[in-house]
Amino acid sequence: MNTKKILPLILLGALLFAAGCRAANPSSPTGTDPGAEATSPAETGSEADAIYLDPSQSPDARADDLLGRMTLEEKIGQMTLVEKNSITPQAVTDKFIGAVLSGGGGRPSTNDPEHWAEMVDGFQSKALETRLAIPLLYGVDAVHGHGNLKGATIFPHNIGLGAAADPDLMFRIGQATAEEVAATGIWWNFAPVLAVTQDIRWGRTYESYSQDPELVSLLASAYLRGLQGENLADPLTVLATPKHFVGDGGVVWGTSTTQNYSIDRGDTQIDEDGLRSIHLYPYLAAIEDGAQSVMVSFSSWNGTKLHEHQYLITEVLKGELGFEGFVVSDWAGIDEVDSNYYNAVVRAINAGIDMNMVPTQYDLFIMALTAAVENEEVPMDRIDDAVRRILRVKFMLGLFEAPFSDPDLRDIPGSQAHRELAREAVAKSLVLLQNRDDVLPAAKDLPLVFVAGDFADDVGVQSGGWTIEWQGGRGNITPGTTVLEAIRAAVGPDTDVRYNRFGTYDRVLDEDGNPAIAQLGIVVIGEAPYSEGVGDAEDLSIPEADVANIARVAERVEQLVVILISGRPLIITDQLDMADAWVAAWLPGTEGQGVADVLFGDRPFQGKLPFAWPLSMEQLPLGTNHDESPLFPLGYGLEAGR
């Protein structure tokens, strides 16, 4: 149909919706025949006889039965995922909305487990007031723990877990994260990230486990199994979402079309063999291990947006790989397919997107997709396939039998056992880059230790992006242990730990009244929190203020250690000789005690670089400059410990 004829149809549709002409009722169109009559359980016998209400039936049988009872409006509602601040609970009922999410920072006004559960249950109760009482699926970005929840355990970001390279650890972190998310009545996690990052200038580098597809596959699949357990209906398991399909880690610098971004959401320029061997590779194991939800990437492959890539979504993912779950868009990802929203919806849904993360203009999406079906530009069998996939997963999750949160689980988030697990993960993630004269591990009984740097006493910096807010934040944004607090807890009772963020200790004098010289200095530097394309960086050099801080502390200590808190390798070539030891601590999260455990020898250094550490910016992206070796190669990491 000529697109010029579409706009009047959409406007007409808007008027019809506003007038209530398409309000839900048992005579609305359903099935593959828009003129067919809808049926409710009561019209086909008692509700007890409805297959979809019978938990002894298979998810497939229940999904087929329920699908046959649904109107077009109810089906499109199931395909709609709305951000929680953009919709009222009553609108969930009125529009038959199938899913709601909390994006970064999408939390209740009182940020604790009880109010999270109350918020989610409020949406759920309104979903159950619809004609067929189809439960809501609520999703959240718990990418390194339940990061939006204050007081939750914040694990190291994926780059640090890639350095740990421990699949058993990943499995246990998946279990712990699932438990903390489920405790708030949520059973859908938008994780893990399967990106195989090739250019560390990308602001999402820290969400990637490694530049090595085999390591990404190993760790992501272990984490997925931990999240989902052996049975998705278990109340302490959650639905995982491998993302972002596919090739997001291969985007090319300068190809982003998003304002103020340089590489995020850009174009992956690679042939199909390369796409498959590097970027598709981790999805093979994820699907084999039971992935039932996959999120599509904002990025493009050789100029075509993934959100409209029918070959990759339908033929490869659903066909060749046998993926039986549902495909969800990223945040307003469909909008980027075409400047004409109607055309964007048609192309994306026909390409194989099953659920649209709208996230705000849900009425517009519903109207556009309804018009597309009525115009026969999106076939009913495509709608039915999408909804069947969504319903099947809801049945697998046991939502129809247990849709609400369990108050008995409210004490799980931030539990001591989970914090100890995160502490273990931090310790295993640290990479010792340099250790001149075996300064590390340090003795716990040193008389005087100087600590410097803004980031030494900042749990927000340690946690990075996707913590409480989308971009993260500075300071005490959530309970945790800072590196400074950890150092003070680790040393002996007679050790004097002096902290000055600027590295000036003019008032610290020795017995003779002269400037005291500490046996050990520790300077903590790195990157302030960021996420997604906000973190795209053309220059990864450490700031001059940090260089000056290192120099000041070096004059007042016998041995100096620099700890890097960062979401990727930084350029430190010219500063390397300024300190005796350098430690990559990545973004360790709330349990800074794990850093001190390794610094002072309670645990050994065992982390290995998941990315090659560049000598200079000219070596980026990875592997483009073959004349010089990197400063430290992939897999590098010194071992030291007691």
Number of other CB atoms surrounding residue 324 within 10 Å: 15
Residue 189: beta bridge partners?
A: 140
Cα–Cα distance for residue pair 153/590, rounded to 1 Å: 7
Segment holding 488, helix H or strand E: helix 483-490
Residue in the block written with tokens 């499995």: 171
Three-state secondary structure call for residue 176: helix
* Orientation of helix 213-228 relative to helix 281-288, angle to 10°: 20
Cα–Cα distance for residue pair 86/37, rounded to 1 Å: 32
255: its two tokens? 């190809």
Report which residue type is found at 123: F
Report which residue type is found at 526: G
Residue 158: beta bridge partners?
A: none
Residue 532 to residues 256, 378, 614, Cα–Cα distance (Å) = 12, 32, 21
Active site residues: 330, 532
Cα–Cα distance for residue pair 302/257, rounded to 1 Å: 14
* Residues shown for the chain: 642
Spatial neighbors of 283 by CB under 8 A, at least 6 apart, are 194, 242, 245, 246, 291, 294, 317, 321
Report which residue type is found at 370: T
Using DSSP bridges, classify how beta strands 557-565 and 518-526 pair: parallel, antiparallel or unpaired. Answer: parallel
Whether cis (ω within 30° of 0) applies to the bond prior to 493 is: no
Cα–Cα distance for residue pair 112/107, rounded to 1 Å: 9
Using DSSP bridges, classify how beta strands 581-586 and 137-140 pair: parallel, antiparallel or unpaired. Answer: unpaired
